[in-house]
Each structure stands twice: as C-alpha cells, then as structure tokens.
Structure 1
Amino acid sequence: MILQIPSTKTEPTITWESLPTDFVLPDDPVENIQQPTLAAALTDALGAASLIQSEMLIGSNFGLVATINNKAVVKAPDWFYVSKVYPVTKGTVRRSYTQNLEGEPVSIVMEFLSESECGEFSVRSTPPYGKLYFYQYILQVPTYVIYDPYEPSLEVRCLENGKYNIQELNSQGQVWIPELELFLGIWSGERLGQSMNWLRWWDRSGNLLLWSAEQSEQEHLRAEQERLRAEQERLRADKLAAKLRELGIDPDALT
C-alpha cells in the first residue's frame, strides 16, 4: 500500500472586481530613474507612427488589478498595453485597470530592472505575489518583457500553454511582439538630450519607428532640401535669362 499525501497547495480563486472607492493605490517611488523616460519613448514612437487608437490603453506605473481569494491585488508595471478598453463615464478619471471588467485582457507588460532586484523574476505564489507569477498565472499576460538598461539586456517571455517561454532574439537583437506586430530591440543613442540604451520599435520591414522629435527633424530637413532645390532652380533660371539677354533674346517673350 502506497501512502498518498494530499497536496496542500490550492489554486487561487481569481475574480475581476472594481476597486473600492477608498482603496489606497500603491504610491511607491520609481526604482529606476530611467523608467519614466524609457516608457515615454516607447509610447511616443507608437503615437508618432499613428498606431495608437482611442480605444487602447497604454500606461506606465499604473495599477493593474485582480481580486485573489477575495483580496484586491495591484501591480503597477513600468509599461503596459491593452488593445481595447471600455470608455469611462464622463468626468471620471481612470485610477486603475481591471481586465475583463473594464475591457480586454492586458496584452503586454514591461518591467525595467533597477540596480537592485525588485521581484521582476519572482514566482512567489503567496502575498505579496511575485511579478512574474502575477503576470503569468493571474493576469495571464501574453507577452512579458523584462529589460535591464544597465547591461543592457532584453528578455521577452510569451505565454504558451499557460507558461512563459523566453523568446530568441533575431540576428539584429530584436524580438517580434505579435500583439503590436512590431519588433522590439535595444538602440543606443540620444533622445531629448539624454544618451542611454533605449527600447525601440521596428516594423515588419525592419524600419525604425521614429520618435516624434526625430520625425519633426526629418520633416524639417526635407523642407530645407526642398527650399535649397527651389533656390538652385531659381538661380539656374536667372543665369539662363541673363545669357539669353546677352544674345539679344528677351526671355519673357519665350514664355
């Protein structure tokens, strides 16, 4: 006879409920000084490429909510994306987001590592829940990105059969993000006077999605080139008209 020892681990009961109006959302300080600029740059590029629609929700350090065993749990990723949410009542400010109740499930979450370990890889399955556990088993987010700007290094986990699998980088060091149909990779350079290792988007053809400032600069250069071409055409026309007059020909009579 074989003694069977029952497992003491029980599956959590997960529900999607509104936060109480008096619920105090976490207001922890940003652990990575680069986090706000990294998040803003990711969103800026999507906006400059006209890829953000009104029904989407893109946020940074914003509470994602699940009720686990009748207790509200909130995690605030450094960046996240939801493809479609329900509009809030006019005059109401969205304080947090509860998937399935307020709209579609969260599609992408990103965490940017700080110089000290802060639970981005944690699979702790009891309160306080680890971030990896929460995104994988509770929210079941299809794509979880962990980025270390100090190395720099990029890990993208995709949910397959209920578990995260790390995706391989392509030859350019990029990973395909199916929810946005874009590649994500690391780019070293400057934005708004700040030089660092940025996370950036590339389209299917390998074209870098420009930030709005880069797009404005590109448009400025294009306009300047057009102005120079027009000026060169004017100078050539003036030179030709002067030559015709030397030959006794009125250039105005030729038009």
Structure 2
Amino acid sequence: MYQTDPPRSPKEVLPTMYDLPSEDPEEPGLPDQFHLLQPRLLDASFCPPNYPSDEIFVASDLNLYYDSRNPLWHKRPDWFAVLGVSRLYEQRDLRLSYVVWQEGVYPFIVIELLSPGTEKEDLGQTLRDIEQPPGKWEVYEQILRIPYYAVFDRYKYQLRVFKLDGGRYAEVALSQPRFWIPELELGLGVWQGRYQDIEQPWLRWYDGTGNWVLTFTEQEGRRAEQERQRAEQERQRAEQERQRTERLIAQLRSLGVEPDLD
C-alpha cells in the first residue's frame, strides 16, 4: 500500500464491516439458551432517558473489531451498548459487526455472562502468548478503555461491576446486587422474576425511582390489566346503580306509588 501525503484516515483505507467476517463457527463458547434470553432482556429494558432511542446501539454476540493495526482481531461480547451513534450503520444498514475505526465511537459498557469455559478470560485471569491477540479484559480496559465492565455469573447469580479508574478497572463494592450508572440515568441489577415464562434471577435495568424498567410486553400487559380493572370498576358502578334504582322502586311501591319507569 502506498503512503499518501497527507496520510488517509483508517476509516478510508481499512476494511469496513462489509469486508470483515461476521461469524466464527470455530469460536468456543457458542450461546446456550441463557445466553440467548438474557441479552434480550437487557436490550428490552435499556432505555437511557438522556439519549434519544435512535442514538443508542446495543448488540449481543456481535463481532467487535477493535485494532486498526490488526484488522482481523475481534472480540464477541455477550452484550454491549454504544451511546451517541446511530442504531444503523451510517444511518442506513443493519450492522454485521461493530468496527471501531469505521464508527469512531467506542462502547460505553460491556457485559459478559460467565461460562466455565470463558470465566478466566472474562475476569482477566489468563496469560497470553505475546504472539496471540489480547484477551477480553485487556481489550476492554486498555485498548478500548470502556468505562464500565460488568460480569454476571448465571450459576451463582452474582453481579460484579468494574469501573475504569486511572486507566485500570477497579471493582465496585456492591452492598446489594444493584449498581447505579449516573451517565446513563439507569442502574443495573439482579431481578428475581419471570421472563419468557422462566422464573429465576435475571440481569436487567432499573430507573431512578428504583423500579425495574418494563419491557414492551410488560407495558402492554400492564395497560391491558389497567383496562381490565377500569372495565371491572365500571361494571361494579353500573351494578351499584342498578341495585340503588331497584331499592328506590321498591320503596315507592311500598308507599303505594307506582314509579314512572319511562
């Protein structure tokens, strides 16, 4: 490749998401059912009030290309969110991957769902050969410098949160399985409830009042329940009015007065 003067930007000369592979069937840790359902709940309850919905991109199990010097190097986070970027690539296409040198915006938070096969890498407890790509922890902490990194153990239902502090991740001491993120005006916590007809602890977002953010389905269910309650209240009022009218008619007749029911 010939050098130009001035040099062209990486966005112009390096591969785009259309050029890079979006799948790696040989990659270990392919999603199980929990890894499919949990990210959907995170998606459905992630709605930072200080960002328009069309300036938020969330993804799960999507290739994240992070190094312009090694364009094929990528990680595949279980879930991540990017703020201040279009939901569509260049506002026109669904993403095949997320390529940082094309997007110009790095993820704000990454969440990994711990699995026995990936736990050590997720927690930065593995050593790598110098010739191998860096592990997730190094990529998130030192290369992309993602402000927040959370891991959730589906077997212990334990949430751990790490915040970038002075260029290194520092674990946040949680007195309860909840963590408020002021930049998002949202919190991340462990919720015991039923999702997709499965009752267990789940990771989801909560709002500034401490209430869990409702998914669209839950909002629809709540509206339907409120409508049912309104209909029932109206039925009860109509029944009470009917009974009151019948009592009044009975009282009039006991006095020898035939009421005019027309």
Tell me, yes or no, if the aligned pair for 1:32 and 1:112 is still in contact at 8 Å: no
- Structure 1 unaligned residues grouped into runs of 5+: 1-14
Deviation at 1:203, TM superposition (A): 1.4
**Structure 2 CA distance, aligned partners of 1:51 and 1:245?**
62
Residue in 1 that maps onto 2:123: 121
- 1:205-236 CA-to-partner distances (Å, cap 9, x unmatched) read 21121233332222222111111110111011
Of the structure 1 ranges 59-68 and 20-29, higher mean CA displacement relative to structure 2 is found in 20-29
Shift of 1:195: 2.5
* Structure with more of its chain in helix, by fraction: 2
Output the aligned Cα RMSD.
2.9
Give TM-score, length-normalised by structure 1. Answer: 0.81
Counterpart code for 1:59: A
Residues 134 and 50 (structure 1), Cα distance of their counterparts in 2 relative to 1, 3 Å cut: closer
Rounded to whole Å, the distance in 2 between the matches of 1:129 and 1:251 is 90
2:80/2:111 contact within 8 Å kept: yes
- Which residue in 2 is equivalent to 1:88? 89
State the match for 2:74 in structure 1. 74
Verify the 8 A CA contact 1:121 1:130 in the aligned structure 2. Answer: no
Cα pair 2:48 2:185 within 8 Å, conserved: no
Deviates more, 1:101-110 or 1:127-136: 101-110
SS at 2:100's partner residue?
A: coil
Q: Give the 5 Å matches for 1:38-53.
A: 38-46=38-46, 53=53
**Which one-letter code corresponds to 1:67 in the other structure?**
D
Corresponding letter in the other structure for 2:65: V
Q: Residues 117 and 242 of structure 1: is their aligned pair in 2 closer, same or farther, counting only changes over 3 Å?
A: same
Give the partner amino acid of 1:82: V
1:62 Cα deviation after fit = 1.0
- % same residue: 28
Distance 1:48 1:67, change over 3 A: closer
User: In structure 2, the residue corresponding to 1:115 is in which secondary structure?
Assistant: coil
Which residue of the partner structure matches residue 180 of structure 1? 184
Q: When the two structures are superposed, what TM-score results if normalisation uses the length of structure 2?
A: 0.79
The 2-side partners of 1:20 and 1:96 are apart by 6
Q: Tell me the matched-pair count.
A: 238
Secondary structure class of the residue paired with 2:145: coil
1:131 is aligned to 136
Tell me the residue number matched to 2:106. Answer: 105
Structure 1 outlier segments of 4+, above 6 Å:
48-52
What's the secondary structure of 2:150's corresponding residue?
Answer: strand
